[in-house]
Amino acid sequence: MVVSPFRALLAAHSQTTWNQSVRELGRQGQWALVLTVLVAATFGAGMLLVGTGILGWVLGGALDRPILPLVLGGMLTAVGFGGGLMGGVLGGARQLAWESYRGFPLRTSTLYGAELVAGFGDLLPLALGSATAGLLVGLGLRVPATLPLVPLVWLETVLTLLAVQLLVEGLAGVLVRRLRTLLLALGILIWLGSTLLGGRVPAKSGSTTAAPISAVQVERLRAIGTRIGAAMEFLPATASARSLLLARQGRWGAAVGAHIYPLGLLALLMLMGAQVMHRETEAERRPEKATRRQRLWSFRHPAEGIGRLHFQTIMRSHLGRFGFLMPLMTLVLLKGPLTHLTAKASWAVPAAFAYLSLVGNNFTFNQFGLDRHGVKGLLLLPVAASDLLKGKLLGMAGHQGLQALLLVGLLGLVDRTRPDLLLAGVLLMACIFLAQASVGQWTSAWAPRPMVMDSLKNNNMPFAIGLLSIATSGLWTGLYGGLYALTAWLAPGWLLPVLALAFALTLAAHLALLPYAAAFLDRRREVLVERLG
């Protein structure tokens, strides 16, 4: 039986995923994971489908209202474009190593199609795809005339998500090769972000209590709403949503015609994604430019040398460079909306720093991942395990510290945030980083996974570690964020001293735990060499 290259690529994807899980978790761990995922999927997906189905049923009842196509269009856009953007940024697209493809007689269209479909096998597209299915089926059951169009609308939305995911990841990969271009893109995004947010947020008063919303603010919000509504009329997903209304009215020609625009845009997205992919498969490695003399190995303490090495490794990796987009995304996606949504705008600053501290989880939970084969050289050095871990911590701290500085600069420039709030935010971020790094020292030795230096793809954590990182992220954010909230509420003047004390205590706890983590690392040296070497 001859198997088409398309199916062969998909088979290789699923085999790779399965084999990697077996390698990382062992057979027993894998069965436990499968069981957990099955139980979670049964209950989670069930609730998701029922929940979104009920929502769809409710929306179906109001299909004739003029606002509904806009609401539904907004929801489908959030799934298609928002989900795709998030998936692309998180490195969710599943792709096999390009180097292994380039010699084969493969058409770009085959390769693109297979990578697109394989992308559906990740948690985010699966969850969003199921939610969209529930929503549309619920709506279709309430308004049966729309049912024939439901599969088309679902397919458009999910394919948009997958196409955007691949495109974002491909473009991000191209961008991060040149830090200067990345920074230029960052500047453009700042301008776009601040424009979209409707101008500068007014400077806050000294008080952290809620101020009553004024008539001017209400008017401004209404104006923003009108502008957003007008913009949403042009969304392709709104055209899809409107086709459901047209189908209900029995205007089938117009209903089908309404899909020309979203399908055309989808085709364009796919064409762009395929073009980026084609360029990438044709890409060639240029020899590294001669850089100024490195001083990697001149240091007073081994940890300092390891730290400098690790910092440079992170900064040279695509994922590390991409991290410098995160302060901007934090500002546009988190801080801005939070400021608009809540009168207590000052909460937005710690939330932004807390979020920023968590986006480096790929590095903190897999501290030897970027070393790959180099881990052998690292472990051969006459350096104690505790110094290795300290060095890793210093390197990551440098990387996250630069991101924090960037966020401080952005908040100061764009938002005119008070310096004491900025400093408190940095301290909060440092606390969460230290706590996460403590956990990461164990996971890095327990389940190391090689990370790719020159690509954003396939750098996700193993599934079990991913779950753990979500849990600990929630724990530390709750703990330190709660401390911040309590202090800001009870004694705002004590915010900085309290957070400084929290930082000192976290550092002390980190150093107290370090010998145990180092002993664990010593016991796991063989595993590190086996998995990474």
Partner 1 sequence: MLALELDSLTKRFGDKAAVDDVSLSLEAGAFLGLLGRNGAGKSTTLKMVTGLLKPTSGRIRVLGLDLEADSLAVKRQIGAMPEDMALLDMLTGPQYLRFVGRMYGMPDALIDGRREELFDKLDLAVLPKQLIADYSFGMKKKVALCAALIHGPRIVLLDEPFEGIDPVTSRTIKDILHSLQQCGVTLVLTSHILEVVERLCPLIAILDDGKLKGFGPLEELRHGGESLEQLFVNLVGGSQKGNLSWL
Closest distance to partner 1 from the beta carbon of 20 (Å): 5
Nearer to partner 1, 105 or 206 (CB): 105
- The contact mask relative to partner 1 for 491-530 (x = CB under 8 A, - = no) is ---------------------------------------x
Q: Is 8 in the site for partner 1 (CB under 8 A)?
A: yes
If you ran DSSP here, which 8-state letter would residue 207 be given? -
Tokens (6 digits) for 199: 């101008």
Q: Is 275 in the site for partner 1 (CB under 8 A)?
A: no
Q: What is the spatial distance between Cα 233 and Cα 14, in angstroms, rounded to a whole number?
A: 40
Residues 6+ positions from 198 with CB-CB distance below 8 Å: 220, 224, 227
Nearer to partner 1, 5 or 398 (CB): 5
Three-state DSSP class for 382? coil
Q: What is the spatial distance between Cα 30 and Cα 14, in angstroms, rounded to a whole number?
A: 15
Q: Is 103 in the site for partner 1 (CB under 8 A)?
A: yes
Closest distance to partner 1 from the beta carbon of 28 (Å): 15
Closest distance to partner 1 from the beta carbon of 106 (Å): 7
Taking the CA atoms of the chain, what radius of gyration do you get in angstroms?
25
Residue owning tokens 């796991």: 524
Nearer to partner 1, 19 or 42 (CB): 19
Q: Is 454 in the site for partner 1 (CB under 8 A)?
A: no
Nearer to partner 1, 251 or 525 (CB): 525
Q: Which of 92-100, 196-204, 242-250, 254-262 is the region at the interface with partner 1 (rule: CB under 8 A)?
A: 92-100
Q: CB–CB of 119/94 below 8 Å?
A: yes
Q: Is 28 in the site for partner 1 (CB under 8 A)?
A: no
What residues from 375 to 404 belong to the interface with partner 1 (CB under 8 A)? none
Q: Is 342 in the site for partner 1 (CB under 8 A)?
A: no
Q: What is the spatial distance between Cα 237 and Cα 136, in angstroms, rounded to a whole number?
A: 13
Q: What is the spatial distance between Cα 506 and Cα 433, in angstroms, rounded to a whole number?
A: 10
Q: Is 109 in the site for partner 1 (CB under 8 A)?
A: no
Q: What is the 3-state secondary structure (H, E, C) of 306-375?
A: HHHHHHHHHHHCHHHHHHHHHHHHHHHHHHHHHHHHCCCHHHHHHHHHHHHHHCCHHHHCCCCHHHHHHH
Which of 105, 250, 253, 382 is the binder for partner 1 (CB under 8 A)? 105
Closest distance to partner 1 from the beta carbon of 33 (Å): 17
Residue type, 519: A
Which of 65, 107, 178, 200 is the binder for partner 1 (CB under 8 A)? 107
Give the binding site for partner 1 (CB under 8 A). 1-5, 7-8, 11-12, 15-16, 19-20, 22-23, 96-97, 99-100, 102-107, 282, 284, 286-287, 289, 530
